[in-house]
């Protein structure tokens, strides 16, 4: 005589459904797609603050988690607390499943912020920028113009720079809004009617044609050193608008450790190549106490820049992005909310399901 299987209680059914949902969402987030929100203006106008997008893990291949001991569906902290959501007691070697493609030049890429050394690589804060240089490329910026391998790089359609805009009278939010410039994209820099404005070249030309604007000038920094520029802006005489030339490391590339190469690449070797004991002193690199005369890179690297070129903290400031920090390809938008509007006006309907280029 068969036994009747006892019926699950309502509470048990809810628990089972919740566990299934968490497991399914975790697998989708890890293997296929992960949601991401644009928090800053570094990619405007290509991507806007308040854009919600999906990041494809499939394009470049899904990373096997380096830090597997983690609360599901969390990143660094447990929701709403300052409690770490992971344990770094187990750290797995880097491995990536096969993908559809490699990171290609000008892809919009989500990656882990490299210099956030307090976290394991896969749990660093997610950033989004454009890969303007791929392994083996040589990049150079002259008067704000980016060149890759000696050729002027194609410009993102809605790339922004900063401009000094001087009005014949004070300019208000309503005036700037007619040009698609939100309140976070302009600042008064004089006591009267001078403004620092982040805008595309096309918008700058429209501003210049306004009868109540007396001048519009792009703010390009002249040649000279700038503090905080990677690898040493003051020493090399580089700044955000005049930079390089600098070659991007590729896996298997061997370089002699000349004085210049020590300046350019010692930080990368020290922090991303997996060595436990790297010392940089007196213009030389020492690994495990031995002076390095030449070095062969163990992984590929990328040079990332924001499309809002004068309002982006990117590779010009903190250096190369290692391959093992790449999260995925920014694929398409699924929602966009304008924080300066209210109710239904907040939704940017024209950006729904827009592909990212």
Tens of pLDDT, residues 67-103? 999 998 899 999 889 999 999 999 999 999 999 999 9
Please give the pLDDT value at position 78: 93
Q: Is the peptide bond before 45 cis (omega within 30 degrees of 0)?
A: yes
Q: Which helix (H) or strand (E) holds 233?
A: helix 233-236
pLDDT at 228: 97
Lowest mean pLDDT among 150-154, 179-183, 341-345: 341-345
Nearest C-alpha neighbor of 148 from the set 233, 72, 246:
246
Separation between Cα atoms, residue 268 and residue 275, nearest integer Å = 11
| pTM recorded for the entire structure | 0.93
Lowest pLDDT segment from 84-98, 181-195, 241-255, 306-320: 181-195
Among residues 284, 334, 350, the alpha carbon closest in space to that of 34 is found at: 334
Quote the strand ranges of the chain, DSSP E.
Answer: 33-37, 51-56, 108-112, 126-133, 138-142, 145-148, 151-152, 160-167, 186-188, 194-200, 213-218, 243-247, 254-256, 278-281, 284-287, 290-291, 294-296, 301-305, 321-322, 326-336
Query: Is residue 4 predicted with pLDDT exceeding 70?
Result: no
Answer yes or no: is pLDDT of 15 > 80.
no
Q: How far apart are CA 222 and CA 96, in angstroms?
A: 42
* DSSP tag of 5: P
> Model confidence at 146, in pLDDT bands (50, 70, 90)?
very high
For tokens 């991401």, the residue is: 36
CA nearest to 64, candidates 324, 330, 329: 324
Rounded to a whole number of angstroms, the CA Rg of the chain reads 24
Give 301's strand partners: 322
102-134 per-position pLDDT tens digit? 999 999 999 999 999 999 999 999 999 999 999
pLDDT at site 22: 76
Residue 3 has pLDDT above 70, yes or no: no
Q: CA separation (Å) from 348 to 41, 157, 167, 343?
A: 16, 19, 30, 11
Section 291-305 average pLDDT: 98
Which percentage of the chain shows pLDDT scores above 70?
Answer: 97
Give the pair of three-digit tokens for residue 17: 């459904």
Q: What is the pLDDT of residue 5?
A: 63
* Cβ-proximal residues to 84 (8 Å cutoff; 6+ apart), any chain: 76, 77, 78
pLDDT band for position 255 (50/70/90)?
Answer: very high
CA atoms of 251 and 134, how far apart (whole Å): 11
Asked whether residue 2 carries a pLDDT value surpassing 60, the answer given is no
How many Å separate Cα 62 from the centre of its chain? Answer: 18
Residues 129, 42 contacting (CB under 8 angstroms): yes
pLDDT of residue 175 exceeding 90:
yes
Q: Which of 266, 222, 219, 271 is nearest to 242 (CA)?
A: 222
What average pLDDT does this structure show over 225-230? 97
- CA–centroid distance for 153 within its chain: 19
- Please give the structure tokens belonging to residue 268: 């990368």
Mean pLDDT to the nearest integer, 194-215 = 96
pLDDT digits (tens, 9 = 90+) for 307-357: 999 999 999 999 999 999 999 999 999 999 999 988 878 999 999 999 999
Whether pLDDT at 16 is above 70: no
Residue written as tokens 């920090």? 325
């Amino acid at each position: 005589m068969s036994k009747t299987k006892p019926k699950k209680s309502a509470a048990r059914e809810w628990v089972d459904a919740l566990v299934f949902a968490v497991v399914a969402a975790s697998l989708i987030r890890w293997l296929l797609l992960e949601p991401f929100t644009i928090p800053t203006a570094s990619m405007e106008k290509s991507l806007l603050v308040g854009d919600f997008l999906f990041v494809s893990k499939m394009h470049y291949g899904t990373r096997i988690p380096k830090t597997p001991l983690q609360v599901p569906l969390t990143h660094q902290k447990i929701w709403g607390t300052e409690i770490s959501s992971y344990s770094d007691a187990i750290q797995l070697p880097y491995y990536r499943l096969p993908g559809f493609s490699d990171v290609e030049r000008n892809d919009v890429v989500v990656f882990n912020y490299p210099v956030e050394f307090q976290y394991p690589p896969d749990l660093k804060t997610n950033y989004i920028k454009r890969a303007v240089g791929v392994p083996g490329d040589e990049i150079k910026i002259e008067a704000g113009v980016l060149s890759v391998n000696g050729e002027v790089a194609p410009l993102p359609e809605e790339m922004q720079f900063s401009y000094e805009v001087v009005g014949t009278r004070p300019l208000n939010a309503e005036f700037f809004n007619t040009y698609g410039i939100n309140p976070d994209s302009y600042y008064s820099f004089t006591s009267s009617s001078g403004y620092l404005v982040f805008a595309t070249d096309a918008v700058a030309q429209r501003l210049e044609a306004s009868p109540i604007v007396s001048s519009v000038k792009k703010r390009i920094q002249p040649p000279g050193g700038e503090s905080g520029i990677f690898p040493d802006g003051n020493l090399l005489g580089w700044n955000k608008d005049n930079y390089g030339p600098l070659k991007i490391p590729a896996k298997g590339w061997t370089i002699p450790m000349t004085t210049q190469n020590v300046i350019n690449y010692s930080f990368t070797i020290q922090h991303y190549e997996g060595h436990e004991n790297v010392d940089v002193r007196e213009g030389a690199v020492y690994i495990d106490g031995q002076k390095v005369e030449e070095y062969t890179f163990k992984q590929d690297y990328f040079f990332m820049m924001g499309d809002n070129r004068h309002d982006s903290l990117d590779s010009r400031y903190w250096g190369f992005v290692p391959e093992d920090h790449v999260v995925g390809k920014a694929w398409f938008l699924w929602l966009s909310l304008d924080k300066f509007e209210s109710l239904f006006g907040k939704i940017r309907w024209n950006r729904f399901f827009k592909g990212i280029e």
